[in-house]
Structure 1
């Protein structure tokens, strides 16, 4: 009997090992009711790709682009480009911040410029609901660092020891005339002011470090409360029991063939309902974007497993250095409602059919041969004021809508007020000059319609045949 039990035990043990291996390779959602994950990221170089994009996943390894793959936030400050965002949720869940590098490669700034005389600021947005975001502002973090040349790859984590956030980033402070990026940190409670920067991580000699991200560990997993992964020539792992305490070197991922010459931008994600993690790494050397490496113990370099290309999907856009947030059900509902994959359309004039509604310096008119073409593309969102209305959100200035003020039209950032919602909402009705086209009736001035006059967009009462033609448009791709 003992031999039989021993054989059964061995079979069960082998089955458990096989199940554990399969579960790590292809993680599943713990329950169907659990919410998913939100990734904020940029997509590449140039003024359009170096903005904020969002993607969503239900299982943590298969991602879908939100907003039709279009940007969701655009920086209008500093270099007017942003990279490497961190998405910070307040401990109470009542406030959020996106903090990003102020950098626009290929749109007026070279890598040499950004390394040696780059922006010392970070770009910050704030929200109370994860969907309506403030205008961006600049936060000077590196200006007080002697000979600090830039501010890159910000991250932030709540520190219960100081009851505020530890904000950390990379700054080049040259050593013996050569570039040397170190990680600096400051304390902040609101991402509007920071304490005097202090050195956080400095590698010996000429070794640089740029990207690092910390994750807090649950009790009972590994030997440390916090683990950080850093891009410093390797993907180096370190552990500590306090954010600003002593960190212990744990090893790197060279054992699975991943070094800092191949990948960068480490980005943590914990799978819901289970002690499993993904460390996403940006394959910058080959231009491949992010790939996940899975583990059941982030503090143990030997526990990481590379994934085959067929076991994960990153969606339609390239994902570059960002941040992943485990969503609550309420957050997920709001995010998916705010950024569905609504098609981008143009509004073609009925009586000047070579002209389209476009914004130019935030004024609104109809023009032929619009350049850039994105200035004439809008997403017809469910009306901000509700009641069966529509609102026109700009594709290349997301969060900005067509709004009338004094019966003139401008492209304006949504301030979240009821007045803005009313001014930016319209009822789409049969075209006044041709019922196969469309006209747009004001929500708060129902006797007035969107029309062009001398090619400028206005909100007017319509009483003549010319007015009916001016107020008729085709919604077209």
Structure 2
């Protein structure tokens, strides 16, 4: 009996300790996760120019080896502001029902210089919204720096959910004059929907003339280090700071100069928690060498001395350069949707059967057949599984991802998928043997099955086909 009583007492003590630990954990802080996760999604840009400064996605199963999604092509294109984006941040709502991408409205080499961007740049951020990580809204502009006195730009946005205010703290860098000193400082505002924001407030200001641009915050689980939040910032160094509140007092912890990384070499800090162990990666963009991201590893984000460089050959960033972005740890449901939507699908063209020097192309969102298409990507499409039904196809633009060939009555245009059933049906076609040549293809409308895609006076439209001319106009060769 004594042994039984001893075992019972030991069990009761253990239960009490577990309950106490649970009760004493700060709100919102879960124990460190050790279960494996399905994968990780990185959003990033890849370089300069109008194509490189857009939204790209990459995926990893282990957080260190990355595969380019969408065949290495862009996932989203900005059609607002400067029509280019950098520094994207991917934000998930606390309940997982909504996602946002927020990015710098900036396109260097697209008619804008670095001096322009710093001193008379966009005061807006670019925002996309989604409910599933697959279908995204049209981009919109969010003015965050217009109310900052002498605010000259808005760069490198990030956002984190703040349980104390039940809102997101949205923070970014703005070049502005304060107390007679012009430099980049980090400002913040609160938002719940990334449509409206509170008045901007100063968040981080370094002494003297030292500016700060890139900052990203990670929430650290209970039992690791002394702080609930750790932020890494590019301010001449890669400086680490800790706090127990997003908008509370922050304590300087040190920097990464001990492993040979300073702000003169790297920027764009990007945190990631490994799902299967108590370890973090802090990715840093090697901008000075033009080499994209490098992971550093640590078991404690708040301890600068715990960071280490990875072993040679232990990581692989994939085919395209990955620059300043963010990483989302995926759930099983998110993993499934991401893989289905962004699977690699080759770019193809539709060549007219009866005008074989002409290809289907979009131009100002109208659709026609042309020879010598420029830019060439205007005539490139990914033949996706049909949006409305199995055994069908939908034509997604390569250089305007998310935009599909859809009809409104007889007119065919390139339009953004709004996620509705009506859009899906009007952008879906059955691929059948060519009406004029069975070795080629014709495309029958899903929701108007008596009609086919055809060109007429070189414009693409949807028509019934009743004669040899129509059959020729409605026949295309799918080419690489």
Q: Give the secondary structure class of the aligned counterpart of 2:177.
A: coil
Q: Does 1:287 find its partner at 2:290?
A: yes
Question: For residues 270-326 of structure 1, what are the alpha-carbon distances to aligned partners after superposition, in whole Å with 9 as ceiling and x for unaligned?
Answer: 000321000000000010000100000011111111124411100111000000000
2: CA distance, partners of 1:431 / 1:375: 23
Measure, in 2, the Cα distance between the counterparts of 1:417 and 1:300: 49
Distance 2:449 2:247 in 1: 60
Shift in Å at residue 174 of structure 1?
3.4
TM-score w.r.t. structure 1 length? Answer: 0.92
* 1:112 aligns with one of 91, 99, 115: 115
Aligned to 1:438: 441
Q: Could you tell me how far 1:178 is from its partner in structure 2?
A: 6.4
**2: CA distance, partners of 1:312 / 1:457:** 47
Tell me, yes or no, if structure 1 residue 406 matches structure 2 residue 409.
yes
Answer yes or no: is 1:195 the counterpart of 2:195.
no
Q: Which residue of 2 aligns with 1:473?
A: 476
| Higher mean C-alpha displacement, 321-330 vs 178-187 | 178-187
Does structure 2 retain, via aligned residues, the 8 Å contact 1:175–1:206? no
1:30/1:241 CA distance change after superposition, 3 Å? closer
Given that 1:292 and 1:307 are in contact with CA atoms closer than 8 Å, whether structure 2 keeps it comes out as: yes
CA contact (8 A) 2:429 2:443 kept: yes
Residues 388 and 428 in structure 2, CA contact (< 8 A), matched pair in contact too: yes
Alignment-derived partner of residue 126 in structure 1: 129
Aligned with residue 383 of structure 1, among 373, 383, 386: 386
Q: Counterpart in 1 of 2:219?
A: 216
- Asked if the contact 2:104–2:124 (Cα under 8 Å) also holds between the matched residues in 1, the reply is yes
The aligned counterpart of 1:456 is 459
Q: Distance in 2 between matches of 1:251 and 1:420?
A: 53
Deviations 1:3-61 (A, max 9, x none): xxxxxxxxxxxxxxxxxxxxxxxxxx976x63110000000011111110000000000
Counterpart of 2:272 in 1: which secondary structure? strand
Secondary structure in 2 matching 1:334:
helix
Query: How well do the aligned residues superpose, as a CA RMSD in angstroms?
Result: 1.2
In 1, the alpha carbon distance for the partners of 2:209 and 2:37 equals 46
User: Conserved in 1, the CA contact under 8 Å of 2:37 and 2:330?
Assistant: no
Distance across 2 between alignment mates of 1:381 and 1:316: 22
The 4+ residue runs of structure 1 with deviation greater than 3 A are 174-179
SS of the equivalent of 2:313 reads: helix
Work out the CA distance in 1 between the residues paired with 2:92 and 2:131: 10
Q: Distance in 1 between matches of 2:77 and 2:473?
A: 32
* Cα distance in structure 2, aligned partners of 1:383 and 1:391: 5
Quote how far apart the aligned CAs of 1:157 are: 0.3
> Aligned-pair distance for 1:105?
0.4
String of CA shifts for 1:236-265, please: whole Å, max 9, x gaps: 000011111111110000000000000000
Q: CA deviation at 1:458?
A: 1.0
Q: CA 1:30 to 1:436, structure 2 compared with 1: closer, same or farther past 3 Å?
A: farther
What is the CA–CA distance in structure 2 between the aligned matches of 1:387 and 1:286, rounded to whole Å?
47
Native 8 Å contact 1:55 1:63 kept in 2 = yes
Matched, 1:420 2:414: no
Question: What are the equivalent positions in structure 2 for 1:269-348 lying under 5 Å apart?
Answer: 269-348=272-351
Structure 2 gap segments, 5+ residues each: 1-32
Q: Check whether the contact 2:37–2:329 (CA below 8 A) recurs between aligned residues.
A: no
SS at match of 1:209: coil
1:187 and 1:46 mapped to 2: Cα distance?
32
Task: Give the match for residue 377 of structure 2.
Answer: 374
**Residue 154, structure 1, aligned to residue 153, structure 2:** no
Looking at structure 2, the residues matched to 177 and 312 of structure 1 have their Cα atoms a distance apart, in angstroms, of: 45
